Each structure stands twice: as structure tokens, then as C-alpha cells.
Structure 1
Amino acid sequence: MNRSTEQVLRDHLRRRRDGDLEGDLRVNYHPQVRLLSAEGVHHGHDGVRYLAGILRSYVEDGDYSYRQVLTDGDVGMLVWSGRCVADDIALHDGVDSYVVRDGLLVAQTIHYSSAPLDQHPDS
């Protein structure tokens, strides 16, 4: 499957918005993907599941706003935010970066901040 970086990222974002983590892993992530975040360095599909679980503890699947997707060759970047209504918490300053090779995500960095909704820059 020879997909562009943008095609991989768009499919990844669609599947995450739809709550299809396992489909996302199967179609878009290399089995040995490397992930770097404030939670440390993680590897493989289990690392993706772990970090997705942490994010899901703040925001349910589909409760995201994708603000900008940029790609250049095998590198991509997503700017995003999210909202957890139950706790009145907003996730902001979300920026993920990606490396795509042979149609699969092989590396990803993840960053976001949380704050009460009344302190969120978009309130």
C-alpha cells in the first residue's frame, strides 16, 4: 500500500474520531512504531494503546477539533484541541508530529496541555 503522508494522517484522524483504535493500528501504524510524549518513550501497538488510553481518560473518542494538518514528504504535523465536558476540562496546545514510511506511521510525538474550560484560550 503506497499512501502519501497526508492520506495516512487523514485516515488516522478519521478512525480516531470514529473510535476505531484497532482499525487505526492495523491500517496506519507500523508494528514497531516509536512514540515520544510527556509519558515517556513507548513502542509498538501496545504503546499506542497505552497512550490512547491516557488521552481517552480526558476526552472521549470524537471529542476533538483538528485545527491544522501539515505534511511535507514523510513528515506530518497535527494541531488539535479537545474537550472533556464531564470534568469541564479543555485540552489545548495539542501538537502531534509524525513520520510516515511505506504508508505507515513509524514515529509520533504527542503533546497537549489541559486546563479548566474557563481558562482555555478558546473559551
Structure 2
Amino acid sequence: MQTVTVILAAVAALVHVYIFVLESFRWTAPSTRRTFGISAEDAETTRELAYNQGFYNLFLAVVTVAGLVLWGAVPAAGTALILAGTGSMAAAALVLVTRDPAKTRAAMVQGTAPALAVVSTLLTL
């Protein structure tokens, strides 16, 4: 079960690093605008908000990776950090889909691995 947890948490972190890059550095790029379904004008208007939001995604990834690194040496701290990072990711995906059901696909991409990582982590306790 630990291997499954590590894989799921690592995938969740990688997805959130990718989201960070899209939101913080590629927000106005045509491919990113297509991904998020926004116009060029809206991308320009929301550029600073997206930049900030991208860093939230990066910080969740960092917390999760820190938990993975600590898990072997300090299991309680590692577990807490993994649950904090992946739990926040899963909760954010839930907020996304409950606010706008049209964003279900995005919420699934953002939240499936983290939610499964939470379950897997809890099963290792």
C-alpha cells in the first residue's frame, strides 16, 4: 500500500506543478486558454489572479513532496504533510465541481490522484 500512496501522491504533485506552470507562466498562451476555456481578453484581465493561484498549486505540490521525503524518516510528519497537501488538492477539486459542474473534467484531472492518495495514506495508518 505504501508504494501505491507514493505513486498517487507523486502524480498529484506533478499535476499541480503542471497547473502552476500553466497558470503562472503560460496563462495567456493560446493552448492554455483553450485548456481553461477562456478568451484572450479574459486571460489578460485575470492574468495576475492566475499567477497567484498557480503558486497555490505549487505550494500544495511542495507540501506533498516534503511529506513523501519525510515519510520514511519521520512517519507522523510525512503522513501529516501528505494528507495536508493531497487533502487540500482534493478539496479544491470538489470546490471547483460544486461551483461549476461544467468543470467536472478539470476537477477529475485535478482531484482524482489526490483523493486516492488520501484514501491510500489513511489505509497505511
TM-score, scaled relative to structure 2: 0.26
Larger Rg: 2
Q: Which structure would you say has the larger RCO, counting Cα contacts within 8 Å and 6 or more residues apart?
A: 2
Is the helix fraction higher in 1 or 2? 2
TM-score, scaled relative to structure 1: 0.26
